[in-house]
């Protein structure tokens, strides 16, 4: 059902994207391609084959210790991600990379206190403590789904969580190819409560918390590209699987345009803490996303991605590379990024207005740059079916 629907939706977007095909767009696309190509060539994981070790089956890696991750890859693609989908387990695995890693505090460190060990696997090792924190509502399911894989392959919980998130999001069309460094210690301490932002927190509070982990306001926006492949289960528990944009299996920029549309309805039965009105039937809007989209500190970064999917991906990759090593000295880890699959490319570099929406429905919030002119997806008003549990 979902696959068929997504296919249909992508089909529609594709035809819209093709209408953009004037000379200027084609030139921009070519430029973007060249940029991507040179970035790939320059990436450390793509050194010449001479520096690689063979892992068998035509697979290579930068270091012999990376080979075992190919076994983990095959196992989780088949048995955790339903054969390589960008579905619920992928979304939850990506969320888990954040909830484990953000247990980290520079200010606590300066005061000589323990503010969490960062991307250390503590959320899995001390699940009985950390999953009771309000902001971690729902992560218990993916922790228990992942745990047997980590144990079976004798890899640390911290490594496994970041690996699963990186592999998972590579299954999403237009997705990033995240760096993966291996070698995190398996010993950790439970993070204290209060490190994970809540959707009902003020923007000041969210930016301060993220700043305390080392992220600028722009980098918070960059990380929130993750909400392009995301749904909620627990803010309104009566409508689990309600996504944050119309294309929850595609890592596109629709999230950034749809969060700027005027809110008109609640997809469920009323307002919940951390929820505000959304613009589309079947779409959920977090209060935090609504506010970050409109705050002067973050609105321009937010708007910039609407017409620049490649920038969104590049910046997400950079911010995730920071997130994944919080609490670690990356020089002590081994670069096993070769193991992360190359995602399928994006259908278009530019987002569209959902069918039935107009420029007048946009609450443009970046004062430096005019809101871009976008195509509107053809057809009846967009309405989104829930992501089915798998």
What is the set of active-site residues? 99
Single out the residue of 206, 32, 21, 189 nearest to residue 120, CA to CA.
Answer: 189
Closest to ligand HEM by CB, 97 or 304: 97
Closest to ligand HEM by CB, 227 or 357: 227
Closest distance of CB 293 from ligand HEM, Å:
12
According to DSSP, residue 236 is labeled T
Residue 226 binding: pick among ligand NAG, ligand HEM, none (C-beta 5-8 Å cut-off by kind): ligand HEM
Q: What residues line the site for ligand HEM (CB under 6 A)?
A: 88, 91-92, 94-95, 97-98, 138, 197-199, 206, 220, 223-224, 226-227, 229-235, 274, 286, 288
Q: Find out whether 201 is annotated in a ligand binding site.
A: no
- Contact indicator for 324, 119 with CB cutoff of 8 Å: yes
Q: What is the CA radius of gyration of the chain?
A: 20
CA-to-CA dists, residue 135 to 33, 101, 138, 165, 208, angstroms: 39, 14, 9, 19, 16
Q: Find out whether 308 is annotated in a ligand binding site.
A: no
Rounded CA-CA distance 384/284 in Å is: 10
Rounded CA-CA distance 265/12 in Å is: 24
Closest to ligand HEM by CB, 16 or 136: 136
53-72: burial string, b at 16+ Cβ within 10 Å, e else: eebeeeebbbeeebbbbbeb
Q: Find out whether 252 is annotated in a ligand binding site.
A: yes
Please tell me whether residue 151 binds ligand NAG under the rule CB under 6 A: yes
Rounded CA-CA distance 159/103 in Å is: 15
Closest to ligand NAG by CB, 155 or 207: 155
Residue 348 binding: pick among ligand HEM, ligand NAG, none (C-beta 5-8 Å cut-off by kind): none
At 321, list the tokens. Answer: 């590379």
At 263, list the tokens. Answer: 């809110």
Closest distance of CB 79 from ligand NAG, Å:
7
Residue 148 binding: pick among ligand NAG, ligand HEM, none (C-beta 5-8 Å cut-off by kind): ligand NAG
Closest to ligand HEM by CB, 84 or 211: 211
Per-residue interface string for the shown chain with ligand NAG, residues 185-214, x marking contact by CB under 6 A: -x----------------------------
Closest distance of CB 348 from ligand NAG, Å:
37
Site size toward ligand NAG, by CB under 6 A: 14
CA-to-CA dists, residue 1 to 10, 174, 347, 385, 389, angstroms: 14, 21, 21, 9, 12
Please tell me whether residue 75 binds ligand NAG under the rule CB under 6 A: yes
Please tell me whether residue 154 binds ligand NAG under the rule CB under 6 A: yes
Single out the residue of 359, 206, 214 nearest to residue 287, CA to CA.
Answer: 206
Single out the residue of 242, 214, 249, 218 nearest to residue 94, CA to CA.
Answer: 249
Residue 154 binding: pick among ligand NAG, ligand HEM, none (C-beta 5-8 Å cut-off by kind): ligand NAG
Per CB under 6 A, contacts with ligand NAG among 234-253 are: 238
Per CB under 6 A, contacts with ligand NAG among 105-144 are: 125
What's the angle, vertex CA 339, arms to CA 332 and CA 311, rounded to 5?
Answer: 85
- Contact indicator for 308, 349 with CB cutoff of 8 Å: yes
Give the range of 3-11, 154-162, 208-216, 337-345 binding ligand NAG by CB under 6 A.
Answer: 154-162
Helix residue ranges, H only, the chain: 2-19, 23-42, 68-79, 88-101, 106-110, 122-125, 127-130, 139-152, 157-170, 203-212, 217-223, 254-258, 287-294, 299-304, 309-323
Closest to ligand NAG by CB, 22 or 154: 154
Closest distance of CB 129 from ligand HEM, Å:
19
Closest distance of CB 321 from ligand HEM, Å:
12
Please tell me whether residue 270 binds ligand NAG under the rule CB under 6 A: yes
Single out the residue of 308, 355, 242, 283 nearest to residue 8, CA to CA.
Answer: 355
What is the crossing angle of helices 23-42 and 309-323, to 10°?
A: 20
Please tell me whether residue 156 binds ligand NAG under the rule CB under 6 A: yes
Contact positions vs ligand NAG (CB under 6 A): 71, 75, 125, 148, 151-152, 154-157, 186, 238, 269-270
Binding residue numbers for Ca(2+): 100, 118, 120, 122, 228, 245, 247, 252
Can you say which residues are annotated as belonging to the binding site for heme b? 227
């Amino acid at each position: 059902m979902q696959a068929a629907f997504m296919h249909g939706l992508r089909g529609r977007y594709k035809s819209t994207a093709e209408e953009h095909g004037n000379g200027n767009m084609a030139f921009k696309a070519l430029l973007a391609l060249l940029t991507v190509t040179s970035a790939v060539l320059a990436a450390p994981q793509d050194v010449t084959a001479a520096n690689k070790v063979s892992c068998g089956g035509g697979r290579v890696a930068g270091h012999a210790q990376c080979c075992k991750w190919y076994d983990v890859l095959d196992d989780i693609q088949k048995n955790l991600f339903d054969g390589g989908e960008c579905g619920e387990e992928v979304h939850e695995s990506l969320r888990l990379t954040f909830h484990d890693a953000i247990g980290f505090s520079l200010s606590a460190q300066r005061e000589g206190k323990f503010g969490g060990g960062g991307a250390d696997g503590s959320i899995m090792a001390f699940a009985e403590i950390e999953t009771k924190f309000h902001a971690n509502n729902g992560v218990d399911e993916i922790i228990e789904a992942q745990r047997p894989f980590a144990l079976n392959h004798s890899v640390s919980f911290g490594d496994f969580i970041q690996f699963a998130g990186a592999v998972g999001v590579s299954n999403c069309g237009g997705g990033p190819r995240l760096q993966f460094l291996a070698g995190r210690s398996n010993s950790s301490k439970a993070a204290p409560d209060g490190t994970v932002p809540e959707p009902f927190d003020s923007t000041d509070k969210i930016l301060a918390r993220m700043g305390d982990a080392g992220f600028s306001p722009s980098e918070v926006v960059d990380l929130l590209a993750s909400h392009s492949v995301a749904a909620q289960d627990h803010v309104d528990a009566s409508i689990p699987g309600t996504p944050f944009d119309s294309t929850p299996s595609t890592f596109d920029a629709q999230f950034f345009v749809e969060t700027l549309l005027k809110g008109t309805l609640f997809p469920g039965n009323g307002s919940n803490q951390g929820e505000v009105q959304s613009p589309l039937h079947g779409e959920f809007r977090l209060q935090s996303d609504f506010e970050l989209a409109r705050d002067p500190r973050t609105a321009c970064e937010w708007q910039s991605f609407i017409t620049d999917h490649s920038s969104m991906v590049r910046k997400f990759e950079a911010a995730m590379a920071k997130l994944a090593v919080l609490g670690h000295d990356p020089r002590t880890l081994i670069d096993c990024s070769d193991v992360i699959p190359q995602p399928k490319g994006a259908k278009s570099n530019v987002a569209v207005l959902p069918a039935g929406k107009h420029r007048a429905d946009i609450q443009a919030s970046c004062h430096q740059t005019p809101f871009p002119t976008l195509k509107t997806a053809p057809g009846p008003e967009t309405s989104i079916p829930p992501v089915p549990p798998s």
